[in-house]
A and B are shown apart, each in its own frame.
Chain A
Amino acid sequence: MRDVVITGVGLVSSAGEGLEAHLTALAGGAPNTDTASFEPFPVHPAVPLEWDRQIPKKSDQRQMEPWQKLGCYAAGLALDSAGAKEDAALKGRMQLIVSAGGGERDYAVDGQILTGLRQADNPGVFLNERLMGDLRPTLFLAQLSNLLAGNISIVHGVTGASRTFMGEESSGVDAIRIARERIASGQDDIFLVGGSYNAERPDVLLIYEMGGFLWKKPYAPVWERSADGGGMILGSGGCFLVLESREHAASRGAKPLAAIAGVASDRSRRRPGSVEGALHGLSRQLGAKPDVVLSGATGIKGITDEERAALKDIAPGAGVHATGDLVGHTMEAQAPIGVALAAGLIARGGPSEALVTSIGHWRGEGAIRLTKA
């Protein structure tokens, strides 16, 4: 089996743009939170970005909604950081796995239709007419899950082949897991892997509010929310990683930030204690002895407390950072962001081993072990 290393990181979120900005923010300070736009729901808003810097064509920008633009931008940063951006041949054989949900809706149109449906003589016909008349034809392409990958292929020329994984937090872990396995087994040499999330959307807030998962008070650290009922604060951001075999990186003179020593994921039947047990199992499977933990904890009562208890056993004495306290909960992008931060810390010469955890808000448990390259 071949070693798999990380040679590029692209990261944007409420904490800024680029790995350095995030490592600086990780060292301390209050996160960037918007409490007004979706009151009573706080969100961690993406910092304003100069889209032109990674998505040069306005025509491409117009075809995308924010979740795709965030992802496309982060993918460009990752290619830059890996020294791959200008190598068309390399990008032509680079494989792509994206973890994604779906895209934005036209909120004004939805509201107008719901208002009109109430009075409509024939609601079904009214719905047809309004959707036919009011939906922008290209909005569909900004909604389709696999069109983040499609846009990355178009904008950045990454055209080995793309696959899009769905399924909330788990999709982020499994995207990294499958990419690593394909490199380790010798099937492929180099991957671009990651995801993005736009939290500044009433439709996603709606889904999680229906489930009762959202924190509706001013920001509090994820570990401290349980006492007050618990809940997650969604965050906007995007993160992509360039993964390749150690040999492949060396052959093109790319400097690895860290190695991905293992990725484990599973799906416990959630009941009290199952998350704690699952984390112990994943950690054993990975042989983890981390100096630092990047936790994807949501702040949801119960599972967050179980994770904290498990980490006390798994990583006694290790520093534990909750990525939720830096960027919020970015759903499909949460695991990639944890890996990016862990790689950055290791590359700086701090810890020699890191563990990234991803306990899904509703299902799915995953962990990723990183070591010095």
Chain B
Amino acid sequence: MALRDKQGRPLVAVTGMGVVTSLGQGKGDTWAALTAGQSGIRRIERFPTEGLRTTIAGTIDSVDVEPFCAPMLSERLAMLAAEEAVGQSGLASSDFPGALFIAVPPVEMEWPQREALAKASGQEGDVTYKDLLKAAASGEFKPWHDLFIFGTVADRVADRFGTRGSPISLSTACSSGATAIQLGVEAIRRGEMEAALCIGTDGSVNPESLIRFSLLSALSTQNDNPEGASKPFSKNRDGFVMGEGGAALVLEDAEKAKARGAKILGYVLGCGEKGDGFHRTRSSPDGMPAITAIRQALEDAGLAPDDIDYVNAHGTSTPENDKMEAMSCTAVFGERMASVPISSNKSMIGHTLTAAGAVEAVMSLMTIGTGRIAPTINYQVPDPAIPLDVVPNVARDAQVNYVLSNSFGFGGQNTCLVFGAEPK
């Protein structure tokens, strides 16, 4: 029997998954902590936080890289997640039979490097970029070119795993991880490749990144109790908490995967996306773009709204996102939404930004695989405007066959994925 979906396209199976978050390394550790309702949010120790409005994050402090900077940490997190995923898939560890699609945070040179260049310039008066350029001419800083251009993380990961062709580095802001998966699904469905390595990674908790989000008033400022700061869907939610993470999925043409006897962890059944031209950081007040993305994902999966057993929410804990997400889900699922479990992993690991869509894809598949739904923690003050079953505070056992995972981002990005234990 040919393993095709209702539209005649190859079915896309997941045969390997890996993840690293502030809760642990590996999907086993992370899942155990998530279903135990533990928080990975803590006080930032990595740099001084005096003078900042937000001093907490879901940093990954157990991974050491040199020099310490966002692209190095992001690369390392991607490598760790991909080693786990490719290892689980049983595919060759350095000759991967498909392309790499990787969501990476936008990188640029950071302050330690600027300071080193300023020092090397010998300028003792006012420092300008002219001085930095003068120092750069020495050739002494050559490795920093490679380190701080946009294609380097992908290039190194592609080298490590021997992926085929030109790797694609991408950003759709906070839905990037989901878009990486979508690109892999599309390539397999077109028959261009048998497998795809799809990764989302983000290790960018540094002073300037944090301050940029802080200046947009996007972050929670409830620093006193770090573990309680991320409160998706609660009335007292006041912003997201930055988190770091990496997640990787090995996608395969299901027919090829079965033929080689691989264990199938689940299927990516549908993808939906819709742009929003309303505003740079806010979504259309009628929610139509998010609603359309959800509907497209369901349609692409060949499912009806009633088929969905669980929604893995974007659930950032910002006043705007959670309200809009609840409204959009309710518009699609109707009255039934009041009883569809919807929970936010971000209540525990924070918003892993570029990685979030991929991290949450792994958690969605873990939900299917274990029959257990991770909770939304810190849910003490329900928001009457969001009358949903957010799986408050405690994990729950449930038979879950189909999951909708939402990702929304600045710049009008809305990407939704549907995962299933089996195709319908």
Contact = CB atoms under 8 A, between A and B. Distances in A.
Given A115-B126, A147-B410, A363 B155 contact: yes
Interface centre among A63, A137, A157, A158 (most CB of B within 10 A): A137
A229 interface: no
A162 B127 contact: no
A181 to B, nearest CB: 6
A51 interface: no
B190 interface: yes
A209 B411 CA distance: 31
Contacts of B413: 146, 150, 161-162
Nearest to A363: B155
B68 interface: no
Contacts of B208: 131
Interface string B40-76: 0000000111111100000000000000000000000
Interface centre among B132, B158, B170, B278 (most CB of A within 10 A): B170
Given A137-B216, A154-B280, A132 B167 contact: no
A110 interface: yes
B280 A150 contact: yes
Contacts of A151: 280
A209 B137 contact: yes
A132 B208 CA distance: 9
Contacts of A347: none
A211 B142 contact: yes
A153 B127 contact: no
A364 B170 contact: no
B129 A170 contact: no
A117 interface: yes
B279 interface: yes
Interface in A91-107: 96, 100-102, 105, 107
A209 B136 CA distance: 6
Interface string A278-309: 00000000000000000000000000000000
B411 A102 contact: no
Interface in B125-167: 125-130, 132-133, 136-137, 139, 141-142, 144-146, 148-151, 154-155, 158, 165-167
A366 B168 CA distance: 13
A187 interface: yes
Given A124-B47, A125-B48, A363-B151, A203 B171 contact: no
Give the interface size class of chain A: 35 or more
A111 B166 contact: no
Nearest to A105: B108
Given A102-B106, A125-B51, A132-B211, A150 B114 contact: no
A286 to B, nearest CB: 14
Given A111-B127, A117-B115, A140-B216, A267 B51 contact: no
B242 to A, nearest CB: 13
Contact of B411 (A110, A144, A156): A144
A212 interface: yes
A338 to B, nearest CB: 16
A150 B183 contact: no
B151 A171 contact: yes
A245 interface: no
A207 B133 CA distance: 9
Contacts of B53: 132
B162 to A, nearest CB: 11
B212 interface: yes
A219 to B, nearest CB: 19
B410 A166 contact: no
Contacts of B148: 207
Contact of B106 (A166, A202, A266): A166
Interface in A132-155: 132, 135, 137, 139-141, 143-147, 149-151, 153-154
Contacts of B127: 111, 114-115, 118
A159 B277 contact: yes
A124 B55 CA distance: 13
Given A168-B149, A207-B145, A144 B106 contact: yes
B344 interface: no
Contacts of B50: 122, 124-125, 128
B12 to A, nearest CB: 14
A362 B149 contact: yes
Given A132-B215, A143-B106, A159 B276 contact: yes
A112 to B, nearest CB: 8
Given A147-B410, A163-B172, A267-B167, A132 B51 contact: yes
A137 B218 CA distance: 11
A164 B411 CA distance: 11
Given A102-B150, A128-B48, A203-B129, A267 B155 contact: yes
A127 B207 contact: yes
A276 interface: no
Interface in B247-272: none
A152 B367 CA distance: 37
A145 B145 contact: no
Interface string A346-373: 0000000000000010111010000000
Interface string A205-228: 111111111000000000000000
Interface centre among B51, B114, B130, B413 (most CB of A within 10 A): B51
19 contacts: A102-B107, A105-B108, A107-B129, A110-B114, A128-B48, A132-B51, A144-B173, A150-B413, A154-B279, A159-B412, A162-B413, A167-B154, A171-B168, A187-B186, A202-B132, A209-B133, A211-B145, A267-B165, A362-B149
Interface of A: 41, 63, 96, 100-102, 105, 107, 110-115, 117-118, 122, 124-125, 127-129, 131-132, 135, 137, 139-141, 143-147, 149-151, 153-154, 156-168, 170-171, 173-174, 177-178, 181-182, 185, 187, 202-203, 205-213, 265-267, 360, 362-364, 366
Interface of B: 47-53, 104, 106-109, 111, 114-115, 117-118, 125-130, 132-133, 136-137, 139, 141-142, 144-146, 148-151, 154-155, 158, 165-173, 179, 183, 186, 190, 192, 207-208, 211-216, 273-281, 289, 293, 409-415
